[in-house]
Structure 1
């Protein structure tokens, strides 16, 4: 009872003393000091946090406060992020002329004190530890209390006083400034622009914060898992030059991954591969550099497995199981051929930024095999790494396309390996210009290098060496008959993207065929070499260079079509493109006159090629997103496929991604995703994308499960109404029609059932994909 009296008095004090001026905080509650928050946490407090508080933070807060684009850099994915607090500095800033200092959680500072010196302000009370101070001095409490005070929404669409744009002016106030913020923005409590916490959720967070917001240390690793960590760290830290170079290669490609060890019982523990100054057996002393290949500043780097304390967030979660089967494959890739590593390549920028220089002593065949083994994750790193935020970052790719790969057994003979070595000087990447590239004219240099590279590639294909490689479907990798990474589907959702296994959706306008040099450059351009804290020049040159890689992948695909068809198809892909782009695409440097050896029997050769590829890859095609895998009836599936055949018209009003909960008498049954594929005359425009839009050619893809990590709208459709829903979507004509659709089926930001639907989608997503699923991002939800 005394606890509740104390809490009640604290709440009265908060409500009655909201007028404290900034200078009064120190006089009333003492000076701010991170040391005030240090102290023991007992078992009861730890259980309360883990069992009651953390589930609320994860399900109600993390969906907006995770990763680089968390508002005010406030990451609520782990205790360390909550203790770090928030910052007024932007991570994503497309206008800065100079690169900013990185502020990566767990990397660029090790304690709250260090974060304070970097300009981060606390969101928990760091003054006197009393219930009144803990609430009055906590931004977290003040934010949820402000939203609670506002009450339920009274209108379905929120007024313009709310700003949901990604580029909005963020109000990243400290606790001393919050009183004025409450006056200026009385409706901007948390969750922002979403239904308030329930009474029970609010009560739990209030009790926790009144007691100081205590959070326990991460639970220790089980003994079996410690043994697995020791085993893998011993494997990754051999003393010989070959072992060290191979481990460096593995690290530079897997450093963003969530690594799982042991069996499924270890699902609660995920690891990241990090560089450390200290060897296995000692505490990790992480090496913090902008890029994974920057000079470590020590004589010897150790590769360690660091237990990741953050909750799973789907938009940046790249899971990989480290088991004996994978290790055996890695051994065959990197040690199956007898070769010698004669020197440490070092970390000079001209070497480290170019993987073909740094790792030239590891056979290209082994490197390609390693990347192919998990090619979805290799491509996913580009999608889920820091580059994926923002329209300019992904408007270099089409809305939907399929990706295939050259077979390493056929394509990487001695002649092609020598060709790669000969061309290494033409494979430099923009990161060689650091994070402060100031002149986009470097694009011209890279353009000339790319022309030289593709000219040599064309000559190789038409040479005696090239003629030993058949220009037919035998050269397409079939996943060795058991690897579903052999074909992927990439979807672009305006300013973000998804990559899934299989040939999802209808025949795309374009497709890529990727070989080793292309796959490696995609990684080092958009993942390892991309600095989210870099200046506008670095980001612009990165975007421009990706044009080359897209065109190269498309050109590889065209080689399998009759040579007389290639130019007309390419012209269709680049309708209305700038003449400079056309001059590049159609230049003689990159033409291949060799005829495709694929036999065709119809006039629509591109569609026929897709079906030939589907047949070739049938044994490894992933069908997890097929509607036939859902719990829907045949009649309902037929209606959804009919919707998928609609083109243009009112589809233009649809959002990029709609995540649809299908219910049966109100009980969650399944989830489907509606993906809006926006058509373009071409995608070579850097800034005026709208001018290239062709809404009359728009289409949709309907897929089982959650496809897309950033839903723009949630819907709830009764299973008995699904056919009517599909018909209503198919017959959209105006914005008013779309509003009517939302009136009937939409779960808007303001909907009283929002959190029920959100939780149901999360639960079904987890059941559907236990390892891959994670918390969805709600920063792109509409307000329509």
Structure 2
């Protein structure tokens, strides 16, 4: 429904996300794998629009009529038959199955599980559906203002020398998921970097491959900037700025130093899936600084990418943690080419086994390779530090103005996630320090090498390998702390006998032999280190959080002061009742309404396993992080209060101790799915997103909105 082509393509009974799939599914990416209705019908898609004015054959029209015929009681809980779980068995009726669907699912019409549309809205949609869902007249952004910019970029990306071709391949594999834009000309819209059979100046003919590093099948192909013409969705709107400054930066990064290249790397899986092998000729410093320039973008590529779908996909991470990066000067993989070359054979990723025989998939070599890499890395760093002095505070990358945030916060919302710049919230349980080999492997494991159409073993392998990368980053963080606190702190992250066994199997014991050159003056070295890094950060992110951190609340400014701050970073029975992500609208008769996001931070004994997460929960330790403004793509609930009710709202929420208490809060301040003001409230929050930078917009996804 995000484009005319999608409506014309129709529907299929084959789900994209299928955790029990044993073989690869056919690729059905919109705008890539087929381009005509006939081609989509050959891929088992069926028409959902009226045929020759026959309303009875229009799934869209009948869904709207069904929703109109069976409306919910205003402000009442939905019937139990209306399932909202994203893992529920989904139904996709073909036109000749609609009668049965209507009988079995009287509340299965559109909009599903929501308040009814207005008369005007319903009439307009119904008329469009009955008319065969024709293509809409849309005012797409004009690309005329950036035509010169596009020509310059396509000329740069299609250079003919081996060095230019290798750099262009590297850039494409890292930017293929991006919505590219020109900062000074955002009204021109967004673009995707694609491989095309046609040269610049001709209509684009996309080469469809399963992964961006797969063989394009021809030596004569070109990198092109294709306009993004679908409706922008916040959950997939992963933006990256192009423009003259970026082009100059690339030239300085990749072509200023003199480096040589032999033959261009092959597209064989063993080489192409390992970026350290495929791009060994490009200096490691250039590659790492390229990643650090926009570290938030690269983390966002998997946070909003296809891989982060559902509970099992994202329970590899804690509900909130802080991320730092190792400075290039401290990273031996950047400074020592011989070391990186020797480690490269052990840096292969699970996607390399996509075509392997069954024994190779059941007993994956990447697990053993990872152990060898860990041992080799430890030995090489010990050799470089014979006195075992350990890392220094200056070994954490502190960023530079204009290069994006150097510090990040990642939030998990049970079945999806969000990343933002800076250290947000109170001190988290865990933190990561990511080096070049880990950052590159995270990207190739979860983005470039991830196949959403892949079989179950690929999905599991991707998840298991991310476990290893998480533990690498946690261990690197611990190495900055005093030796005597490392093991106890690590054990507090992996409580439970099975978690400790699994951790010991996959990684070496926590290093307590090497010292640290970081000087500590308090009895809480973890907090001291994190806030020392924050204080020294050079990238321009906010250094205080007046709402959530007790140490900053005393200096709270009038602009940020809010009674809601009393809910932040505290524990209590009431926290368990809060949804994963709530938006609060505070109506201010004398000024502009304010918006806050309430994030439920859940605690676990460990995140070492794919399943049975509920057995590892510690709800009594849950807290709430509050952000001024909008956060995330999937709001779970809306609250609307006046500024005169803020204190009362806070007091009533903190007094919640039962389901009945919580439902009283919902009745007083909440907006249920069945509420007559639901759509107006959703529109208000959508407008908040829309008023932000064009590079961070897109429609919110309401399908995970809860019904208390």
Bucket of the pairwise TM-score, normalised by the shorter protein: over 0.9
Q: 2:16 aligns with which of 62, 72, 91?
A: 91
Q: 1:233 aligns with which of 148, 154, 158?
A: 154
Task: Specify the alignment match of 2:431 in structure 1.
Answer: 511
Q: 1:608 and 2:528 equivalent?
A: yes
Query: How far apart are the structure 2 equivalents of 1:680 and 1:447?
Result: 25
From the superposition, tell whether residues 441 and 349 of structure 1 become closer, same or farther in structure 2 (CA, over 3 Å): closer
SS at match of 1:775: coil
Provide structure 1 residue ranges, at least 5 long, that are not aligned to the other structure.
Answer: 1-75
Q: 1:405 and 2:325 equivalent?
A: yes
From the superposition, tell whether residues 336 and 737 of structure 1 become closer, same or farther in structure 2 (CA, over 3 Å): farther
Task: Specify the alignment match of 1:694 in structure 2.
Answer: 618
Task: Specify the alignment match of 2:4 in structure 1.
Answer: 79
Q: Is the 8 A contact 1:488 1:499 kept in 2?
A: yes
- How big is the shift at 1:204? 1.8
Query: How far apart are the structure 2 equivalents of 1:747 and 1:417?
Result: 58
Task: Specify the alignment match of 1:738 in structure 2.
Answer: 662
From the superposition, tell whether residues 645 and 211 of structure 1 become closer, same or farther in structure 2 (CA, over 3 Å): closer
Task: Specify the alignment match of 1:776 in structure 2.
Answer: 700
Q: 1:176 and 2:96 equivalent?
A: yes
Query: How far apart are the structure 2 equivalents of 1:470 and 1:304?
Result: 46
SS at match of 2:561: helix
Deviations 1:480-505 (A, max 9, x none): 24434200000011111100001011
Q: 1:348 and 2:273 equivalent?
A: no
SS at match of 2:695: coil
Deviations 1:29-85 (A, max 9, x none): xxxxxxxxxxxxxxxxxxxxxxxxxxxxxxxxxxxxxxxxxxxxxxx1111111111
- Describe how 1:110-149 pairs up with structure 2 within 5 A: 110-125=35-50, 127-128=51-52, 130=53, 133=54, 135-149=55-69
- How big is the shift at 1:668? 6.7
Query: How far apart are the structure 1 equivalents of 2:278 and 2:422?
Result: 33
From the superposition, tell whether residues 311 and 497 of structure 1 become closer, same or farther in structure 2 (CA, over 3 Å): same
Task: Specify the alignment match of 1:766 in structure 2.
Answer: 690
From the superposition, tell whether residues 222 and 357 of structure 1 become closer, same or farther in structure 2 (CA, over 3 Å): closer
Q: Is the 8 A contact 2:597 2:627 kept in 1?
A: yes
Task: Specify the alignment match of 2:30 in structure 1.
Answer: 105
Query: How far apart are the structure 2 equivalents of 1:751 and 1:668?
Result: 24
- How big is the shift at 1:641? 2.6
- Describe how 1:322-721 pairs up with structure 2 within 5 A: 322-411=242-331, 415-434=335-354, 442=362, 445-464=365-384, 471-578=391-498, 579-584=500-505, 587-588=508-509, 591=511, 593-617=513-537, 620-622=540-542, 634=558, 637=561, 639-665=563-589, 669-721=593-645
From the superposition, tell whether residues 404 and 216 of structure 1 become closer, same or farther in structure 2 (CA, over 3 Å): same
Q: Is the 8 A contact 1:668 1:760 kept in 2?
A: no
Query: How far apart are the structure 1 equivalents of 2:678 and 2:641?
Result: 13
SS at match of 1:724: helix
From the superposition, tell whether residues 170 and 366 of structure 1 become closer, same or farther in structure 2 (CA, over 3 Å): same
SS at match of 1:485: coil
Q: Is the 8 A contact 1:711 1:778 kept in 2?
A: yes
Q: 1:259 aligns with which of 180, 183, 197?
A: 180
Task: Specify the alignment match of 1:754 in structure 2.
Answer: 678
Query: How far apart are the structure 1 equivalents of 2:304 and 2:531?
Result: 30
Q: 1:317 and 2:231 equivalent?
A: no
Query: How far apart are the structure 1 equivalents of 2:417 and 2:459?
Result: 18
SS at match of 2:127: helix
Deviations 1:311-344 (A, max 9, x none): 1101111111211111111111111211012111
- How big is the shift at 1:408? 1.6
Deviations 1:282-310 (A, max 9, x none): 21111111111111111233111111111
Q: Is the 8 A contact 2:572 2:654 kept in 1?
A: no
Q: Is the 8 A contact 2:446 2:462 kept in 1?
A: yes
Q: Is the 8 A contact 2:211 2:448 kept in 1?
A: yes
Task: Specify the alignment match of 1:69 in structure 2.
Answer: none
From the superposition, tell whether residues 154 and 485 of structure 1 become closer, same or farther in structure 2 (CA, over 3 Å): closer
- How big is the shift at 1:242? 0.6
Q: Is the 8 A contact 1:478 1:620 kept in 2?
A: no
From the superposition, tell whether residues 445 and 728 of structure 1 become closer, same or farther in structure 2 (CA, over 3 Å): farther
Q: Is the 8 A contact 1:317 1:774 kept in 2?
A: yes
Q: Which moved more, 1:617-626 or 1:445-454?
A: 617-626
Deviations 1:648-688 (A, max 9, x none): 42312221111222222499712211111100111102211
- How big is the shift at 1:620? 2.0
From the superposition, tell whether residues 337 and 469 of structure 1 become closer, same or farther in structure 2 (CA, over 3 Å): farther
- How big is the shift at 1:618? 6.1
Task: Specify the alignment match of 1:18 in structure 2.
Answer: none
- How big is the shift at 1:102? 1.5
Q: Is the 8 A contact 1:656 1:712 kept in 2?
A: yes
Q: 2:213 aligns with which of 275, 293, 303?
A: 293
Provide structure 2 residue ranges, at least 5 long, that are not aligned to the other structure.
Answer: none
SS at match of 1:659: strand
Q: Is the 8 A contact 1:662 1:668 kept in 2?
A: no
Task: Specify the alignment match of 1:10 in structure 2.
Answer: none
Q: Structure 1 length as normaliser, TM-score? A: 0.85
SS at match of 2:696: coil
Query: How far apart are the structure 2 equivalents of 1:439 and 1:397?
Result: 29
- How big is the shift at 1:190? 0.5
- How big is the shift at 1:269? 2.0
- How big is the shift at 1:144? 1.4
Task: Specify the alignment match of 1:45 in structure 2.
Answer: none
SS at match of 2:520: coil
From the superposition, tell whether residues 220 and 736 of structure 1 become closer, same or farther in structure 2 (CA, over 3 Å): closer
- How big is the shift at 1:716? 1.3
Query: How far apart are the structure 1 equivalents of 2:593 and 2:141?
Result: 37
Deviations 1:593-626 (A, max 9, x none): 2211111111111111111111111662247987
Q: Which moved more, 1:735-744 or 1:516-525?
A: 735-744
Task: Specify the alignment match of 1:42 in structure 2.
Answer: none
Q: Is the 8 A contact 1:272 1:305 kept in 2?
A: yes
Q: Structure 2 length as normaliser, TM-score? A: 0.94
